[in-house]
Amino acid sequence: MLAEKQIDELISERGILKGLNSTLGITAIALVGVFILYTVLLGDTASEQFLGLKGWIEQTLGWYYILVMLISFLVCAVLMFTQVGHIRLGRDDERPEFSNFAWFSMLFGCGTGAGMLFFSMSEPMIHFASGWSGGNPFMSADVKAAVASFFEAKQAALAAGLQPGDEGFPVPNDLVAEAAAGGLTLTVFHWGTVAWGMYGIVGLSLAYFAFRKGLPLSIRSALYPLIGNRIYGPIGHTVDILAVVGTIFGIATTLGLGVQQISAGLISLGILEEASQTVTVISILLITVIATMSATTGVAKGIKLLSQFNSYICIGILLYFLMASNGNYLIASTLTTLGDYASEAISMTLWTARSPEERTWQGGWTIFYWGWWIAWAAFVGMFIARISRGRTIREFVLGVIFIPSFVSLVWFGIIGSAGIYESIYGADMTIYNTSVNNWDYAGTLYTAFEVLTPGVAATIAKVCALVVVVVFFVTSADSGTLVLGRLLSFGRRPPVQQRILWGGVLGAVTLMVLLMGGNQALKALQAASIAGALPFTFVILAMIVGLVKSLRKDSESYIANEDQVKKMIEKEVADLS
């Protein structure tokens, strides 16, 4: 393995980086530009093509995505509990740069925080009560029928003027309670250990080879054990370009979804009557400017402070639901979800659709998520690696996979349970209709605030949620800007001018997609991003092989050194005696 100084000399001698930044950057922008022109000019046709490709992958290769996600998680778990868990991602005497709280906050800020807020209440509700394409496949037909019957009876009772507690008002049975638990468990499965395992394996590989072996913090470096110095050639360039394009598409898609949620919040507050292009432009410009300014200050200031600020507000939102809804029900429901997930995680992870209806459901939910996590793995994994220097492999896996999964459990358990409780026991059907009948992901949370605490308290809660939305999307764009800079600087710290440039590129791409192509272009972008995850799975599998191969040598070296020290001590003791 080459030391960092040797790499710099190699690069200097061979002129590897001469023009590399501009070449990779121009190539990536050209590819993105071609895609945007294609989707805008062809409109619905392009959208149908990309959605068709995405659908084919979900229907045909669902089993493959399941295996890749499972392998990634299992490798991380095994490394955590074996001898290599003590190995530090850096020098043996190095210690973490960030506190645990700051580290965890940034993990969510660049990773799943925005999505967790977007789906916080709507996804548990949909898995609980929606019958789309057969509904939750882990529920029996009897349970689904009981839920449908209960809500039909409740709607009829409310229409007749009855209220909860009145004679003749429907009372949920055990099957409805079972469905509620099942909806929460499935949601936690989608956002839990297997999902974080994908980010964990990519982040671990990059951090190990960059900080332990002295290679550049770049996707190509993880392939060094397999192809050696060829990572500095066409193969390495191709891998990094794929990562750059995937990052741009992923961030642009996320910002597009963010505009929807920001618009929903402003409409809920009465500031807007409906979404408009003006709001789209202002929202994207605002997020881009703040993210770019934050990126120029570096990780230790901008992203860290914003992420910690958001963590405190998120804690406040959880406390709000515990106080505004039935706290005892929310806590009990969350604990039940923990037990159900622990007992059903393996079967849920390995479950593969067999019938056309099941394949449609799994493709629209689980495989969609797995493709999303894989598509984001390069971007999120590199950022996680950047903030994890100095931690041991055991600390890394615990902090990147298991603790965030527990936080996801608490987040969806409390907020999702609040939506389910109010839908079952509340005096109206507003939350139920917003999520289950209208599938309004962005609006469900704001609707819940109005139902739980109408008036000033709801307004304050909506403002807090809107701030969290904006900051989460800012930190995603912020970290994306830094990652793009590192990818195109061959793992080095990018100059300020380059961070500003890539911040502008991310904002410009998002605006072009939304203004020129609208929702159809955004759907095409999202579909292309997820479909593009397929070729990157081969890179991930190669990274896993390279990581395991290198760690095995590290472990053998550690054991040899440990045995040598042990023999020296035994000899010293023998001489003294």
Q: Would 416 be classed as within a structural domain?
A: yes
- At residue 16, the pLDDT reads 44
Q: Would 557 be classed as within a structural domain?
A: no
- At residue 183, the pLDDT reads 97
Identify the CATH number of the domain in which residue 397 sits.
Answer: 1.20.1740
CA-CA distance, 378 to 245, in Å (whole number)? Answer: 10
Cα 157–Cα 162–Cα 167 angle in degrees, nearest 5: 95
Q: 392 forms bridges with which residues in the sheet?
A: 88
Q: Would 561 be classed as within a structural domain?
A: no
* Euclidean distance between the first and the last CA atom of the chain, given in angstroms as a whole number: 43
CA-CA distance, 417 to 412, in Å (whole number)? Answer: 7
Q: Would 215 be classed as within a structural domain?
A: yes
- At residue 382, the pLDDT reads 86
Domain of 62? 4-546
Structural domain count of the chain: 1
pTM: 0.87
- At residue 53, the pLDDT reads 84
Tokens encoding 146:
């009981």
pLDDT, one tens digit per residue, over 307-338 is: 888 899 999 999 999 999 999 999 999 999 99
DSSP 142: H
Neighbour tally for 193: CB within 10 Å: 22
Which SS3 state, helix, strand or coil, does residue 412 take?
helix
For residue 115, give the nearest of 449, 368, 458, 325 by alpha carbon.
Answer: 368
Q: Would 218 be classed as within a structural domain?
A: yes
- At residue 449, the pLDDT reads 96
441, HSE (Cβ side, Cα atoms, 13 Å): 14
CA-CA distance, 30 to 17, in Å (whole number)? Answer: 20
For residue 405, give the nearest of 111, 68, 79 by alpha carbon.
Answer: 111
Q: Would 275 be classed as within a structural domain?
A: yes
Phi-psi region of 291 (alpha: psi -120 to 50; beta: other; left: phi over 0): alpha
Q: Would 554 be classed as within a structural domain?
A: no
Which residues of the chain have a pLDDT value below 50?
Answer: 2-4, 6-19, 560, 562, 565, 567-569, 572-573, 576
Cα 461–Cα 408–Cα 334 angle in degrees, nearest 5: 85
Total H helices, total E strands in the chain:
25, 0
Q: Would 52 be classed as within a structural domain?
A: yes
Dihedral sign from CA coordinates of 90, 91, 92, 95: negative
Tokens encoding 66:
């399941």
